[in-house]
Amino acid sequence: MATVTLNKLEKRYGATPVVHGIDLEIADREFICLVGPSGCGKSTTLRMIAGLEDISGGEIRIGGKVVNDLPPRSRNISMVFQSYALYPHMTVRENMGFSLKIAGRPQAEIDKAVAEAASILGLEQLLERRPSQLSGGQRQRVAMGRAIVRRPEVFLFDEPLSNLDAKLRSQVRTEIKKLHARMQTTMVYVTHDQVEAMTLSDRIVIMRDGHIEQVGTPDEVFKRPATHFVAGFIGSPPMNLFEATVADGGLAFPGGATLPLPARFRQNVTAGQKVVFGLRPDDVYPAGHGLHSGDAADLHSAEFQVAVTEPLGNETLVFASFDGREWVSRMLNPKPLRPGDKIAMSLDLSQAHLFDAATGRTLRN
Amino acid sequence: MKFPRPSAPTLLLLPAIVVLAAVVIVPLLLSFYSSFTPFRLTKPDTFFVFVGFRNYLTILSDWNFWVAFGRTVLLLTVALNLEMLLGLGLALLVERASRGQRVLRTLMMFPMMFSPILVGFQFKFMFNDNIGLVNNALQALGLTDTAIPWLIEGHLAFIAILTAEIWSSTSVFAILILAGLLAMPREPIEAARVDGCTPWQTFRYVVWPFVMPFAYIAMTIRSLDVARAYDIVKIMTDGGPAGRTELLWTLVARTAYSDARMGLANAMAYFSILLSILFTVYFFRKLAAARSQIGAEW
């Protein structure tokens, strides 16, 4: 049980900065995800917390104690690696008991801890096998078992599901969530998959180019993205984001189309300002085929031309053009549409986002 | 009379069979046969006298043969173990080098590029009791004021030969183990560090099991090498003084060419090959076990 504090944490390789002095406070027993595109510094940050990378600047505290100069073994952490990192020459039992054996614990205690972890993860039947005799999902569970056995203060996960196929991924994802509920331990989880981040975390940290873009609950980062980047990164399919210019109470798009400027942004923009307008696929839908969540006055109608549709059963993604650009729309209770059809779309502007084109920051109050 | 026409595969294989027969099979059979004769190079007629196992009985009851045999096994054991330790150390150091690793790897292979004969001459010079570098250095450092008879006293001569052998071949171990280290995935090492291992424990429980198969490959190659050690010894001591550094193959060569007793020498040679086969089988077993242990997919 411990908090983790990053204070102006920096990482440089030679002269190249990779992590630019980030601050983050992770609460005790919190499940936090570091998410971002590859190269954003999320794995480096995790490895610095683990002690596998040197820290170039700032400090890391685990449970209030500065651990900058402590080797990984003295930080009381466990880590689950993307490639599982099991010891190939040891059986599942030996893999899981290894850390306790190294610590010189009595055999009875090791057996008990391994048996307990094995029962949590359903590994009882596999204890005498070697990693090479296991499937990917089983290896991943052994890697988690190895982490559990240590009873660490902090669990670190480095993209643990990347090597699994889609079905197994969602299954193990659920197991990790159950594990967190059961273990009541601080967990830091790195992923590039925003779905994993959304489904697992208490809070999400979205990183980009070594900076933190936003920290918030899944709900916050989805509904109130702080930047243009977060808006585009979180959500699947991604938010429709298009550049526009503020012009007398409206938004002028490059192709000549205009949309009214939602009232809540009026205070924060000036005429002629370049902005990025964003609307989630759920908030653009063929008239009558979506969920309207706001004031009817904010519902704007426009004519779109269908380019292609992707039926998903209970809903259909419609790719349609407006102002010469392709928008994505989520159509509930689908009706058949053919490419080239002209349809009236409802744009729920009460849900629209507006970002400053220069800084990328939200123009919401 | 009409010969049956050979089939196409037989016909196509025939050139290879003829070559193999000429250079391998016939000499092998002839030498094996001659080990059952009192064949002397100086008396060709003796090639046709069959004496059964007399040569084998002679060598098995010959004390000098057993001493040479035992000394070869001793050299093999000591040299291989030391070479492995040194090679492992070298490989670990080179693996840590953050720059210039290619240059170091090439440098490391230098001793392998010299003919063993030249290595023998070089070490013969270095260990020379009058003009050698070793005595010179020891005396200059004030460690001794006598000329140590390196190549003349039996035990010292063995050590001198061992040194030359190790110098020339440690890199076999170093290179193979380095290959193992470079092929090793990083994550298990990092996992071990997180799991609480000290650097020594990480090496002992994670790195070593992984490089072990590579060490066994080197062991196999080198055991064959040392079991047929001849050139370095021939040059440095020629089995002397008074047979104190005689190894199996120097003894075989002496018997065959100086004493011209080819039949007896061949019997020794066939017996010695047993030694090599034993070592090879032993290390291959170890290799297979080590490989299956790390779940190697090669």
Chain A residues with CB inside 8 Å of B295's CB? 88-89, 130-133
Closest residue in A to B294 (Cα) is: A89
pLDDT of residue B295: 64
Chain B residues with CB inside 8 Å of A89's CB? 209-210, 293-295
Sheet holding A240-247, edge to edge: A258-260, A250-252, A240-247, A274-279, A353-356
Buried b (16+ CB within 10 A) or exposed e, B33-50: ebbbbbbbeeeeebbeee
The CA-atom distances, in angstroms, between A200 and each of A152, A173, B199 are 20, 7, 35
Domains of chain A: 4-233 (3.40.50.300), 240-356 (2.40.50.140)
| CB within 8 Å: A79 and B194 | yes
| CB within 8 Å: B191 and A85 | yes
To the nearest whole Å, the CA of A56 is away from the closest chain B CA by 19
Tell me how far apart the alpha carbons of residues A49 and A7 are, in angstroms, rounded to a whole number: 12
Helix/strand/coil (H, E, C) string of B235-278?
Answer: HHCCCCCCCCCCCHHHHHHHHHHHCCCHHHHHHHHHHHHHHHHH
Tell me how far apart the alpha carbons of residues B20 and A267 are, in angstroms, rounded to a whole number: 95
What are B's interface residues with A at a Cβ cutoff of 8 A?
A: 185, 187-188, 190-198, 201, 205-206, 209-210, 293-297
| CB within 8 Å: A98 and B198 | no
Please, what is the Cα angle at B38 between B226 and B62, to 5 degrees? 50
Closest residue in B to A134 (Cα) is: B295
Q: Which helix (H) or strand (E) holds A137?
A: helix A136-149
Residues A72 and A102 sit within 8 Å (Cβ to Cβ): no
pLDDT of residue A36: 92
Chain B residues with CB inside 8 Å of A85's CB? 185, 187-188, 190-191
Low-confidence ranges of chain A (pLDDT < 50): none
Residues 274-333 of A with CB under 8 A from B: none
To the nearest whole Å, the CA of A342 is away from the closest chain B CA by 55
Nearby residues of B150 by Cβ (< 8 Å), 6 or more positions away: B127, B128, B129, B132, B134, B135, B156, B157, B159, B160
Q: Report ipTM for this prediction.
A: 0.81
| CB within 8 Å: B295 and A130 | yes
| CB within 8 Å: B191 and A146 | yes
pLDDT of residue B1: 61
- A139 in contact with B at a CB cutoff of 8 Å? no
| CB within 8 Å: B210 and A89 | yes
Chain B residues with CB inside 8 Å of A83's CB? 185, 187
The CA-atom distances, in angstroms, between A155 and each of A3, A147, A163, B44, B201 are 11, 7, 19, 82, 22
pLDDT averaged per 10 residues, chain B (length 298): 79 91 90 87 83 85 88 90 93 88 88 88 87 85 81 85 90 91 89 90 90 88 83 83 82 85 88 84 85 65
Q: Which of A78, A86, A89 sits opposite B194 (nearest CB)?
A: A78
Lookup: tokens for A226: 């702080």
- A130 in contact with B at a CB cutoff of 8 Å? yes
| CB within 8 Å: B198 and A89 | no
Phi-psi label, residue B295: left if phi above 0, alpha if psi -120 to 50, beta otherwise: left
* DSSP code, position A163: T
pLDDT of residue A1: 65
> Three-class SS of residue A86?
coil
Residues A36 and A209 sit within 8 Å (Cβ to Cβ): no
Pick from B146, B170, B203: nearest CA to B78: B170
Domains of chain B: 62-293 (1.10.3720.10)
Closest residue in A to B191 (Cα) is: A85
The CA-atom distances, in angstroms, between A103 and each of A15, A76, B197, B208 are 39, 12, 8, 19
To the nearest whole Å, the CA of B293 is away from the closest chain A CA by 5
Chain A residues with CB inside 8 Å of B188's CB? 85-88
Pick from A296, A297, A254, A294: nearest CA to A277: A254
Dump pLDDT digits (tens) for B147-163: 788 888 888 888 989 99
Q: Which of B198, B209, B295 sits opposite A132 (nearest CB)?
A: B295
Q: Which of A72, A103, A130 sits opposite B194 (nearest CB)?
A: A72
Tell me how far apart the alpha carbons of residues A180 and A188 are, in angstroms, rounded to a whole number: 11
- A51 in contact with B at a CB cutoff of 8 Å? yes
Q: Which of A83, A99, A133 sits opposite B187 (nearest CB)?
A: A83
Phi, then psi, of A247 in degrees rounded to 5? -145, 125
Q: Which of A50, A73, A131 sits opposite B295 (nearest CB)?
A: A131
Dihedral angle computed from the Cα positions of residues B77, B78, B83 and B85, in that order, rounded to the nearest 10 degrees = 100
* Positive or negative torsion for Cα B235, B238, B241, B247: positive
> Three-class SS of residue B154?
helix
